[in-house]
Structure formats: structure tokens, C-alpha cells
Amino acid sequence: MSATLSYERQQLPAGLLALAVHGIFFAMLYFSFSWQSQAVRTMSVDLWQSLPEYQHKVLPQAVPKRVQRPKSPPKPPIPVRPPQPEKLLKPDIALPDKKIPKKVVVKPVEFKADLKKNAKQEEIKRLAEEKMLMEERIRAEQVALERAEEERALQAEREMVEQAAREQAAQNAAMDAVVNEYIAKITAKIRRNIVIPPDVRDDALAKFSVTLLPGGTVLSVRLKKTSGDADYDNAVERAILKSQPLPLPPDATLFKKFRNLILTFKPVE
């Protein structure tokens, strides 16, 4: 019991001290708020343009005229800023970026031996292609040379043919000249031996086919076209047989031109 009383006696001064401290604190709060909330006192001042005139009589209080202050220019309107888009607020907590996982391409690992092998294969392939190109170039050059040789051969052959043709033409011309010359000699010899019968027309024409043997001997005489006068035809035939051997060129190769002759005779040449 004594312990309880002593404990209550000790608590009583502490409670009073706490109440006193709280009371002081609330008083300070109250006075601080009331001091800050005192009303502001205002004063009104009247401005006079001139002093009022006082008379003997007491006039009622005159209303003073207030001086009109010049009006201040109107204030420019405050520019209104256009509404701006709301800025995205970044979160205080930085979120980790979501990264798209990249596809991992697994490349085959090439060893040095494989690299050397590939380089050697590429070199062999390149050399084979160069060899093929060189062979094709050589074949093309050979074909061009062969074509040039063929062209030269053809040109030489054409020139030879043309030369032979020219020579043949010259020979033929010379042969024709010789043939014509000896045919004229044969005709002249036969004509010298013709005994023309009387009353023969001047335009009588007899044509004979004469076959000769080498040396100018007459093998056969055949009347191919009559002149219309039998006496004149017979006289020409006798003259052909009488004129043998007929003159022939010394070149035996020309005899074929004289084997079969067609001779024409007229009384008047």
C-alpha cells in the first residue's frame, strides 16, 4: 500500500508540468495566429485642385471635386500559350528495355586446312578456265587461218581458171583464124577447077558436104543443097574431086576441124 501511494505522489508533479507545458504551447499558437490575422488599416486621401473659398456664413460642407487622373493605357492582353501536348512522364523507376532476341546464325567453322583447300580449288578452276579460253582462241585463230588459206586457194584457182579461159579464148581465136584461112584456101583451089556451064544464073548456090582424110584426100562428096542447075552442081563436084589433096594446116591437132567440111559455091563471088 505504501508503494502505491509513493508512486501516485511521484506522478502528480509530472502531470502538472506536462499540463503547464501544453498550456504555454497552445497560448503561443493562439497569439501567433491572432497577430498574423490583424486587419490592415487603410487611409483615404482627397486631392483638391484649389482651396475652397470660405464666407462669413457657414456653408454646408462642400463636396470637393476630385481630380480625374489620366487613364492609363490598357494593358496588352497576356498572350495565351497554345496548349502543348502532354509530355510523357517517364516513370521514376526505369523499366528494363524489352529487346527482341536476335536469331543466332551458326556459321560453319572453317579451318585453315579447308581454307587452303578452297583456295587451291579456286586456283585450279581459274587455271582451267584460262586454259579453255586460250584453246578456244587458238582454235579460232586456226579457223581464221584455214579460211584465209581457202580463200587464197580459191582466188588462185579463179585466177588460174580465168587465165586458162583467156588462153583458151586466144587459142580458139588463133585456131579459128587458121581454120578460116585454110577453108578459104580449099575453097579457092576448088573454085579454080570449076568449069562453069553456059546459061547459069549468077545467084545459083550449091552447098556440099565434104569428108576428108589426113593429108587432104577427099573421102566422099555429098550434095547438101542444089543450086537448081544440075550442070552447075556436077561441075562443082568434079572440081572438088580434081582439087585433092586439099590444103590442110601443118598442125595435126587441127585436122578434126577439117574432117567434115560444109562448102558453098556461087558462079559469081
Q: Is residue 150 part of a domain?
A: yes
Prediction pTM value: 0.42
Q: Is residue 6 part of a domain?
A: no
Selection from 259, 209, 198, 264 nearest residue 231 by Cα:
198
Q: What is the pLDDT at residue 106?
A: 56
Q: What is the pLDDT at residue 144?
A: 92
Q: Is residue 205 part of a domain?
A: yes
Q: What is the pLDDT at residue 89?
A: 47
Q: What is the pLDDT at residue 161?
A: 92
- Cell readout for 242 is 580434081
Q: What is the pLDDT at residue 88?
A: 47
Q: Is residue 243 part of a domain?
A: yes
**Per-residue model confidence as pLDDT tens digits over 214-247:** 888 899 899 999 888 888 999 999 999 998 899 9
**Alpha-carbon radius of gyration of the chain:** 81
Residue given cell 544464073 in the structure block: 201
Q: What is the pLDDT at residue 55?
A: 46
Give ∠ CA 251-256-257 in degrees, rounded to 5: 85
**What is the total count of domains within the chain?**
1
**Residue-by-residue pLDDT tens, the chain, 269 positions:** 444 445 455 566 677 788 888 888 887 777 665 555 555 566 665 666 665 554 444 445 544 555 555 556 666 666 656 555 555 445 555 555 555 656 656 555 555 566 777 888 888 888 999 999 999 999 999 999 999 999 999 999 999 999 999 988 988 888 889 889 999 999 999 999 988 888 888 888 889 999 999 888 899 899 999 888 888 999 999 999 998 899 999 888 888 888 999 999 988 77
Pairing between β-strand 260-265 and β-strand 218-225 as defined by DSSP bridges: unpaired
- Burial of 230-243, coded b for 16+ CB within 10 Å and e otherwise, reads eebbebbbebbeeb
State the residue range of the domain holding 257: 114-269
- What burial class does residue 210 get, using C-beta atoms within 10 Å of its C-beta: 0-12 exposed, 13-18 middle, 19+ buried? buried
Length of the chain measured in residues: 269
Can you tell me the distance from the alpha carbon of 96 to that of 237, in angstroms, rounded to the nearest whole number?
A: 143
Whichever domain contains 248, its CATH number is 3.30.1150.10
Query: Which amino acid, residue 174?
Result: A
Q: Is residue 239 part of a domain?
A: yes
Q: Is residue 237 part of a domain?
A: yes
The DSSP output letter for 258 is T
Q: Is residue 50 part of a domain?
A: no
- What burial class does residue 183 get, using C-beta atoms within 10 Å of its C-beta: 0-12 exposed, 13-18 middle, 19+ buried? middle
Q: Is residue 80 part of a domain?
A: no
Q: What is the pLDDT at residue 196?
A: 87
